[in-house]
Amino acid sequence: MVRKFVMRLVGNETLADDLTQEAFLRAQRSTSTYRGKSSERSWLCAIAMNLVRDHFRSAAHAPTITPDPELLERLPAGEDTERAVLTAEMAQCIGEHLAQIPHPQYDVLALHDMAGLTHPEIAAVLAISTANSRVILHRGRAQLRKILERDCVLSFDDDLPCDRRPPPPSKTGD
């Protein structure tokens, strides 16, 4: 369940495996600090979410896309394979943009939409009310929508599922 959550955030199987493993290692090291106020599932997702956020915010892990022609040739041909590749690319793009959302909007959005936690579970993990979780989720979705509209052209109808918009021209004080 944790790996599936991480995979939905990062869109890269190898990275998802690494971050999931690190999440379990951190959880194992900090079992003495687990207070039991939330389910173990919620607790593990919160740890994984923090790792994903840190990964995307780290300059050392800036995303680079390197085409691998051999990998593409080994993939079975068909719409399902192409759809899976496009979905993974889009998940990675959205994960990168999701990291730009401030706390606690990022936390609630990731826990609800990516991990599938309920509002009461999120409230327990983040020590907020259930009603506040709902409001923050709404605001987080609106913020993500603005970021994606500003930075991306999202589409499944062409070859690039997430085509980044060029940055606006910088204004210089001439």
Which domain, by its residues, includes 17? Answer: 2-60+85-164
**DSSP class of 11:** -
pLDDT digits (tens, 9 = 90+) for 40-91: 888 888 888 888 888 877 745 444 444 444 544 555 555 566 666 666 676 6
Establish if 72 belongs to a structural domain. no
Could you tell me the CATH number of the domain that includes residue 53? Answer: 1.20.140
Q: What pLDDT shows up at residue 164?
A: 60
Establish if 68 belongs to a structural domain. no
Establish if 159 belongs to a structural domain. yes
3-state secondary structure at position 1? coil
Establish if 78 belongs to a structural domain. no
Q: What's the rounded mean pLDDT across residues 31-37?
A: 75
C-alpha separations of 127 from 38, 123, 155 in Å? 10, 5, 37
Considering its fold, how many domains does the chain have in total?
Answer: 1
Establish if 74 belongs to a structural domain. no
**Listed residue (159, 10, 152, 19) closest to 95, CA to CA:** 10
The amino acid that residue 38 corresponds to is: S
